[in-house]
Structure 1
Amino acid sequence: MLGLAKRVGARILLTSTSEVYGDPLVHPQPESYWGNVNPIGVRSCYDEGKRVAETLMFDYHRQHGIEIRIARIFNTYGPRMNIDDGRVVSNFIAQALRGEALTVQKPGTQTRSFCYVSDMVEGLMRLMEGDQTGPINIGNPGEFTMVELAETVKELMKPDVEIKMVENTPDDPRQRKPDISKAKEVLGWEPKVKLREGLPLMEEDFRLRLGVLKK
């Protein structure tokens, strides 16, 4: 893709990830933080793949003058996600609608920040249309533990559903929260949709596709 951008003189956007920060020792995570990543862990191919993609973007930018934009995306959710993609919001909503227990990976105190898709798209468009190369964090600084997320889904969608603790995967980051000072300053962007507003919109879409009527 970088070779193509070089040939045709295109501006290119890399949707990088908060995973480049690994299991962070700095909280919240600013773009200046280099991260704490295990390069040989069971899930490190994703982290390291995104990190090397950022490296290549800047190499092409420096050597060939390619116009690059890098967004470090934090957890995003919303309608039209794959119902069984394994992401935590999809899992909880699908489980609640199917009447299954919400499976929270231990210890349940690990945190994530969830950005609604319309806010994410707005941030990406502002980055792509502006003059900043990035990297710029695009995410919602609202921070929730996995237990808090499960409790919120339970309250909004199925109050009688059970919450069950299950074993976690290795190297699961304990904290994740974007410092969006740079996005506010150079893009004039910050998210507008709160989690409790976005979850019902995603629930409505999942209900339609799962064929689960609202009682």
Structure 2
Amino acid sequence: MARVLITGAAGFLGSHLCDRFINEGNEVIGMDNLITGDLKNIEHLFELPNFEFYNHDVTKFVHVPGPLDYILHFASPASPIDYLKIPIQTLKVGAMGTHNLLGLAKEKKARILIASTSEVYGDPLVHPQTEEYFGNVNTLGPRGVYDEAKRFMESITMAYHRFHALETRIVRIFNTYGPRMRLNDGRVIPAFIGQALRGEDLTIFGEGTQTRSFCYVDDQIDGIYKLLMSDYVYPVNIGNPKEITINQLAHEILELTGSDQRVINKPLPADDPLQRKPDISKAAEILDWYPLVSREEGFAKTFEYFKNIPNEELFKREHKDFKKYNRI
């Protein structure tokens, strides 16, 4: 039995990682300050003897009593709505939070995996994106708080690996979807499903010709797990290389939900990437990993989850007071 710390444990990916490591027979410590996470994602674990939860902000000093074998750092806002509302906290969790957890990993002699993102590539000039591509990122734009936080995470992680010989892993996560996503967090799949369920028109930003590549959460978690257990220290893309346009996505969601709403267009936000497709050659070669869940199957499972949520959640808008988290 390994002892595993998972930050961002009450979030979308963090909660699924908790499930995976619990199912593998490990002792799991979940940590989250619940800015964007939700305890309902992990409440089914609370009665288990091999799970405990710390309500803690990792930008503050992190102490966990006892040994640790693995740390998975997933504590970061991940949707545009969140990181545009809490830009300073987004930068702090990427910088100070990562520094604190690398220090903890050094103290405990634990292997640490940090969650990076395809956003480190920015609006890419190379397609598909390989791990060797350095990116095309606007450091001064509104999305820069997220993109640069993740790029810094990668840099400081590699510094700890080289200077302290720390065992580190870096996963670059491409668009992932599935149950436990927040319905109103601004990410495109839950946004479209929520609009369809509420009888609203589906909103596309721009002309809808921009592309994304969507990976179902079970495949993403399997890729992350395999990377953690591998010997590879450099970044690895984990995502589904089957690329579709946002227009195509909108019409697939309408067909899935049986809706007859219109598709309407609004202006494209600044620095929104026009193309996104991972080159997963490294994941296939090094991890023997490839996504297995088809878009049709994944969309059906995701829609089943969302159509069963209570009406008060379906119709509510995000209302959390983020201001206190922006204190410098």
Same fold (TM over 0.5): yes
- TM value normalised by structure 2: 0.64
Structure 1 residue 21 corresponds to structure 2 residue 114 = no
Shift of the alpha carbon at 1:158?
A: 2.5
Q: What letter is aligned with 2:120? A: V
Q: Is the 8 A contact 1:23 1:171 kept in 2?
A: yes
State how far apart, in whole Å, the 2-side matches of 1:180 and 1:14 are: 18
Whether 2:152 is the aligned partner of 1:46: answer no
Amino acid at match of 2:262: E
Aligned mates of 2:268, 2:121 — CA distance in 1: 19
Residue aligning to 2:36 = none
1:172 alignment partner in structure 2: 272
Q: Distance in 1 between matches of 2:290 and 2:191?
A: 26
Aligned residues: 212
Partner SS for 2:136: coil
Matched, 1:78 2:78: no
Q: In the alignment, does 2:217 pair up with 1:122? A: no
**Aligned CA-pair RMSD:** 1.1
In the other structure, the counterpart of 2:165 is 65
Q: Does 1:145 align with 2:245?
A: yes
Asked if the contact 1:21/1:35 (under 8 Å) is kept, the reply is yes
Q: Which runs of 5+ in 2 are unaligned?
A: 1-100, 313-328
Q: Does 1:92 align with 2:192?
A: yes
Whether contact under 8 Å (1:22, 1:38) holds in the other structure is yes
- Written as runs of structure 1 = structure 2, the 5 A alignment for 1:186-197 is 186-197=286-297
SS in 2 for 1:209: coil
Q: Which runs of 4+ in 1 moved over 2 A?
A: none
Instruction: Find the aligned partners of 1:130 and 1:107 in 2 and give their Cα distance.
Output: 41
Q: Which residue of 2 aligns with 1:10?
A: 110
Local SS of the residue matching 1:42: coil
Aligned partners of 1:57 and 1:160: how far apart in 2?
48
> Is contact 2:196-2:259 (8 Å) kept?
no
Q: Is the 8 A contact 1:97 1:158 kept in 2?
A: no
Q: Letter of the 1:112 partner, please give it.
A: R
Task: For residue 79 of structure 1, report the CA deviation from its aligned partner.
Answer: 0.7
TM-score by length of 1: 0.96
Match of 2:263 in 1: 163
**SS in structure 2 of the partner of residue 19 of structure 1:** helix
Give CA deviations for 1:62-111 in whole Å, capped at 9, x if unaligned. Answer: 00011000000000000111111110001001111111111011121000
Letter in 2 for 1:203: F
* Equivalent runs, 1:104-119 vs 2, <5 Å: 104-119=204-219
Q: Name the amino acid aligned to 2:204.
A: V
By how many angstroms is 1:210 displaced?
3.6
Ranked by relative contact order (alpha carbons within 8 Å, sequence separation 6 or more), the top structure is 1
- Does structure 1 conserve the Cα–Cα contact (< 8 Å) formed by 2:130 and 2:278? yes
State whether residues 199 and 259 of structure 2, in contact with CA within 8 Å, keep that contact through their aligned partners in structure 1: no
Distance 1:161 1:107, change over 3 A: same
